[in-house]
Structure 1
Amino acid sequence: MDQADEQRLAARRADPGGHHRPTRVRSGAPVDAAILRIRRREEPLVPDRLLDDYREMVDIGFTGLGGSLVASLKRHVPGRRLDAASRAAGIDPSALVGSVRPDQWISLYRQLAM
């Protein structure tokens, strides 16, 4: 084992706290990394009793019929009501379904469920 191998091996060893010492690590290529922590909410964004209705709205939106989310939903929701709800949720009427953020979906559903 040469000196370079020993340095690489030493860089892999963790300190007693279980952390790698970044001063010893020499990466050959830049690497992006993240740790994702998922925690269950105390209260769901959509109550269980309304979940089927919410899923139905999402399914209709993802059909793509009409080209945009709003156009797809207009087949099932009266135009003025949908226009007001999408405005309140900050959704552009021409927005494709994939560009609508999760918080906008929830807001749109809440507006329509009123």
Structure 2
Amino acid sequence: MAKKAAAGPSKSEVIRKYKADHPELGPTAIAEALTKEGHKVSPAFVSTILSNAKKGAKAGAAPKAKRGRKPGSGKKAAAGPAAGDSSLDTLIAAKKLADQMGGIAKAKAALDTLAKLLG
């Protein structure tokens, strides 16, 4: 069975109204006063409600961009060997490249630089 709607204002509304009536009080004092009035709220809850109220009160502010990665911004998968190549042929070609570049470290650095230029 669904819960019945609570009679009267919500805790959030009570917190916002109390803060409007007592702007000098902080979250701890507001939580203590409201608890004495019979509204069980923690200072952390009061702080969250007041913080969210400030965010919503900014008139004309553009909405914040969503966080997270942009599509396609991650590392691209390395291309595997061509369909006709065997892994042995690929390893031999990689060995020749490393020898031409003066070692594996130098070849890796050159490939990393190339990937940055192309990517």
What's the TM-score once normalised by structure 1's chain length?
Answer: 0.25
Q: TM-score, normalised by structure 2?
A: 0.24
Q: Which is bigger in relative contact order (C-alpha 8 A, separation at least 6)?
A: 1
The structure with the largest alpha-carbon Rg is: 2
More helix by share: 2
